[in-house]
Structure 1
């Protein structure tokens, strides 16, 4: 079905209908098959060398999925051994191979969905981009006293520190009290990436709408787009993450599979503005396709194209824009995306309509310093694969 456009009520254009994704050849997508083979080879080699236990890569352009590959293991290790600094492997018959349908703990990719829900409220006129957080959450005295705004939360310019140890608080009331009292440690307006921005935004959205975040994301994003594999945990069949124990982690929870990895999201019951969602490569490709199509996918519309443009225009609302450290050569022309601590990432390139989803369980069996080389190289491969349509 051809894509139809008309002027939206906020100006600009918005798609009335955008073709759904289909699996087809790289040539049909205007992508070079040789570069895409190298992309898959690079990911496979990285997994074999220990970058992650396993991975799924989905890449395409326009309505075409040209790459959908799974490598390695969804579950490989029983536990982490401190003395040898290695994972204790499961017997071969108990390991779980990675498949293209394996759900992953998205970690900070959750922030993108929280941001979309917030921008939906901007489009409806129920929330102002430069409105003060204190106007909606007067009891959050730290944010209110410093005049923090919705825009600052979405662009990580609130000055809030990266995180709070909510996982150490005795109960939910104590965790909420910490968040209510938290004040910026830097000058508002200065960039400082912080999970607290999306936790505050979650509180604001829930107060504004009277609905919990998981319902807002389900009704506003995943259900309209048909993303049936996307939602907050538990997800028993998900790729395993970490043998989570102190001192390398912040809680003693053992080997995790299908339960949120992030300690604060876990402490908050698994539903949080900064982490907690699980999804698959194909579902995230649908999410990318909808945004690249101006907010529409098939007959569904989750945002008008002018608001999608607002999200993806530097500095980005929720999205990071033109970051070569994980986008490689896709950066530089308005590419937008995000990474997740567990080993996940997405990149959208509005200039060419191409997208890249790279999911891995890089923290299995335990977390290590992030290695973004594989992500950046994959972005470069996709960039070099683009051919004139």
Structure 2
């Protein structure tokens, strides 16, 4: 990898357009030195080296990783390490990945798309707040007012705020992947009763699935179109889209008993089994994106909802989105934000190895994308994410020049 003070690898993202296309309407973030951004170059060198180390050895934290980080309008780090595709399968007898020969492996690049997994929730949340800003959705309105056929949600007076703050009481997920068809999946979701009292925090994919149905009902448009037209196209995020996404970093050799479906080695197809069962477009998972695209997304939120000529939210509604406890965004969580937590930092993680953090107090952002589930899922370990965020926090030393 080049030195963080040198030219940023990758430059403008060259991925293809999302569904429906669209012209690039916002400028790309430009690379610059750490000093120009008011960041300590030594801390950023250590950040880059530690990300490199995460992909090294026989049992790495991730097969490959990409890290981008910046402050203000300056992209000070954009680095890739390891492999987008390293394994052909997982061998359950040895517990090891079956490696591809060296010539057949695919190296990671800054422009490699990743399955974002639960980072998709952030885009669903922004799409919801856009409708709140427009007056078509009430944050404290009852879900049943929009979806009367969702009888359980209506009976328990679940609100849009409950969904956005994970306080609906719904359990983490449902086995939609085991249903025979979409009719059965929808019936299961409509009948799902909260497992706990509404108002109590319990992280759940079901919140974003219900929110997806609410958004599609009030707008008459599917979620992928809402995300494309309202967020990714205006911001020029041309490599961000719902799958399939050929060329993405590989994820898992998905087989039972460690997974919930038998699908083989996945690359460019959504990893989450429920999102897959729902056709790849879901409120909780399904988006693919590159790290430079996510840097633009972070920058737009840090600047109050605008980036270049594009405006996706007004400043008051970004404030609503990011005021604790956060709407869709996790706030001040040291377990993956490290020392960036504690002053209003916002972000999220994804099961496939993805994460982002933005810190309005210092105008900084950090995106770390990795394929930690390649060749198979393991117990989650967010210590490397927290360590990277701590490096970023310690790099903030002066005002940007």
Distance 1:337 1:97 in 2: 27
Q: 1:352 aligns with which of 362, 374, 396?
A: 362
Distance 1:87 1:306 in 2: 48
**Unpaired segments ≥5 residues, structure 1:** 1-16
Per-residue CA distance 1:56-91 (angstroms, 9 max, x = gap): 000000100000000000000000000110000001
The answer to whether residue 113 in structure 2 is matched with residue 103 in structure 1 is yes
Distance 2:257 2:152 in 1: 30
The answer to whether residue 253 in structure 2 is matched with residue 243 in structure 1 is yes
Per-residue CA distance 1:261-308 (angstroms, 9 max, x = gap): 000000000000000000000000000000000000001000001110
CA contact (8 A) 2:140 2:160 kept: yes
Q: 2:380 aligns with which of 370, 376, 388?
A: 370
Distance 1:78 1:349 in 2: 38
The aligned runs of 1:25-44 (5 Å cut-off) are 25-44=33-52
Length-normalised TM-score, structure 1: 0.95
The aligned runs of 1:1-389 (5 Å cut-off) are 21-49=29-57, 50-389=60-399
CA contact (8 A) 1:284 1:357 kept: yes
Distance 2:137 2:161 in 1: 11
SS at match of 1:78: strand
List structure 1 segments (4+ residues) > 3 angstroms apart after TM superposition: 17-20
Distance 1:369 1:18 in 2: 39
Distance 1:158 1:178 in 2: 17
CA contact (8 A) 2:89 2:99 kept: yes
State the shift of 1:171 in Å. 0.3
SS at match of 2:234: helix
Length-normalised TM-score, structure 2: 0.92
CA contact (8 A) 1:21 1:286 kept: yes
CA contact (8 A) 1:53 1:362 kept: yes
**Unpaired segments ≥5 residues, structure 2:** 1-24
Per-residue CA distance 1:198-237 (angstroms, 9 max, x = gap): 0000000001100000000000000000000000000110
Q: How many residues align?
A: 373
CA contact (8 A) 1:160 1:197 kept: yes
SS at match of 2:185: helix
Structure that is richer in strand per residue: 1
Distance 2:27 2:53 in 1: 34
CA contact (8 A) 1:294 1:308 kept: yes
CA contact (8 A) 1:20 1:297 kept: no
Distance 1:165 1:130, change over 3 A: same
Q: CA RMSD in A?
A: 1.1
CA contact (8 A) 2:26 2:235 kept: no
Distance 1:295 1:18, change over 3 A: farther
SS at match of 1:156: coil
Distance 2:115 2:91 in 1: 23
SS at match of 2:374: coil
